[in-house]
Amino acid sequence: MGSEPLLSVRNVSKKFGGVLALSGVSLDVFTGDIVGIIGPNGSGKTTLVNAITGFIQADTGAVHFKGKDITNWKPHKIAALGLTRTFQVMRPYFSLPAYKNLIVPLFSPRARKTGGWRGGGKMGSRDTVAVDILEEIGFERDSYVPFKMASSLPTGYLKRLELARCLALRPEIIICDEVFSGLSMSEMASMVPLIEKLQMEGITLIMVEHRLRELFRLAGRVVVLNFGCKIAEGTSEEVMEYPEVKEAYFGSEEVYDYV
């Protein structure tokens, strides 16, 4: 390793009442990585994402991003630094057309400072930039999908819209909270190259995921959570060998395979 991690999470714990949602989770993410976070339902994946991005306050522990201590910063400040996230439950701005949804991030201080997506110098009309981003992420401009109301878009496009919202900020890290869930097989198949493209563009990705097949194709390193603890970390093959992981996560699947 040697080099400084882009994002480092140290011993983060969070209690909800008497439930220990996270207990002492640590995680390092380096520039250009795709890190997967997996675990059974209720294992603390989304809580970890919320704690990193400031949507909840961690009880103990520290989060450093680009060498800065961002522990318990406000969400908008963390996003302004270039650490963005998608939401598991997609709630776009339903009253607006898809491309108008991107005006909000493009209006943020960070986007205005960096001069729009890909730093196209002086940002022209935000509408143009928004449609360009949507086209990049798979909205067919010719079929007018970018101009449809967000409330009428299918799940696959809403997931892309979530990613596009992050991209509009020209982030350094995108934390994807279950981008594959709820997608059809073909939608998933087209999402994988999209994620690979983002990585090629130099964006570091953290993917919280239930779809292991797709995740293992993408992620170089996988972290397994169970009951709020990190029980394994390594490449996809390595974590599969952990007995705790098998028990917590794959046990049921293996049984299912034998049946």
When the beta carbons of 54 and 138 are compared against other proteins, the nearer one is 54
Number of residues that bind other proteins (CB under 8 A): 33
Residue 252, amino acid: S
Q: Is 158 in the site for other proteins (CB under 8 A)?
A: no
Q: Looking at residue 251, what DSSP letter applies?
A: H
State the nearest-atom distance from the C-beta of 164 to other proteins, in Å: 11
DSSP 8-state symbol, 118: G
The interaxial angle of helices 126-136 and 155-167, nearest 10 deg, is 120
Instruction: Please report whether residue 159 would count as binding other proteins according to CB under 8 A.
Output: no
User: What is the number of helices (H) and of strands (E) in the chain?
Assistant: 12, 10
Query: Could you tell me which stretch among 101-109, 186-194, 235-243, 250-258 binds other proteins (CB under 8 A)?
Result: 101-109
Candidate residues 56, 168, 224, 245; the one interacting with other proteins per rule CB under 8 A: 168
Q: Does the protein bind other proteins through residue 208 (CB under 8 A)? A: no
All residues at 6 or more sequence positions from 99 whose CB lies less than 8 Å from its CB, including other chains:
127, 130, 131, 134, 146, 147
Question: Does 111 participate in binding other proteins (rule CB under 8 A)?
Answer: yes
Sign of the Cα torsion 147, 150, 156, 157 reads positive
- Bridge partners of 208, per DSSP, are 37, 177
Smallest gap from residue 220 Cβ to other proteins (A): 25
Using rule CB under 8 A, residue 62 touches other proteins: no
Can you tell me which of 160, 165, 221, 230 binds other proteins, judged by CB under 8 A? 165
Element spanning 239, H or E:
helix 236-241
Comparison of 74 and 213: residue with beta carbon closer to other proteins = 74
| Residue 107 binding other proteins, by CB under 8 A | yes
In the list 8, 42, 55, 194, the residue contacting other proteins (rule: CB under 8 A) is: 55
By beta-carbon proximity to other proteins, the closer residue of 133 and 222 is 133
Of 25-54, which residues contact other proteins (CB under 8 A)? 53
| Gyration radius of the chain's alpha carbons | 18
Q: Return the residue matching tokens 């049921």.
A: 252
Q: Closer to other proteins at the Cβ: 126 or 221?
A: 126
Pairing of strands 34-38, 19-29: unpaired
Instruction: Return the residue matching tokens 């570091």.
Output: 204
CB-neighbour burial class of residue 186 (10 A; exposed 0-12, middle 13-18, buried 19+): exposed
170/80 Cα distance (integer angstroms): 10
Site string for other proteins, 65-84 (x = CB under 8 A): ---------xxxx-xx---x
The residues that touch other proteins, with contacts defined as CB under 8 A, are 53, 55, 74-77, 79-80, 84-85, 87, 91-96, 100-101, 103-111, 126, 165-166, 168-169
